[in-house]
Amino acid sequence: MACSLNKNYACRVTGMDSSQIIELNYGPLSYAYSVANDKDSSIELKNLMNALYMYSEMARKVKDN
């Protein structure tokens, strides 16, 4: 759902001996933020991520009303 694009999801990776655990909280807008702030990202990808963010914001506003 568009209004859920701002949700982050936990991804946990455990090493083979269970002593090493890495957890990452990441979501679609986390990726969009990273792309927007990466000087090496193409302008097309940045525009796409900006559109995704605006779409998410509009969906949130519609849901809140």
Question: CA torsion, points 7, 60, 28, 33, in degrees to nearest 10?
Answer: -110
- Which whole number is the average pLDDT over 28-57? 96
pTM confidence score: 0.76
Q: Which helix (H) or strand (E) holds 55?
A: helix 43-64
Q: Count of domains in the chain?
A: 1
Where in the sequence is the domain holding 59, given as residue range(s)?
A: 27-65
Amino acid 23 reads E
Question: CA torsion, points 30, 11, 13, 49, in degrees to nearest 10?
Answer: -30
pLDDT at 41: 97
pLDDT band for position 4 (cuts 50, 70, 90): confident
pLDDT at 38: 97
Residue 38 dihedral angles phi and psi, to the nearest 5°: -95, 115
Question: Has residue 18 been placed in a domain?
Answer: no
Question: Has residue 64 been placed in a domain?
Answer: yes
pLDDT at 45: 98
Question: Has residue 4 been placed in a domain?
Answer: no
pLDDT at 19: 87
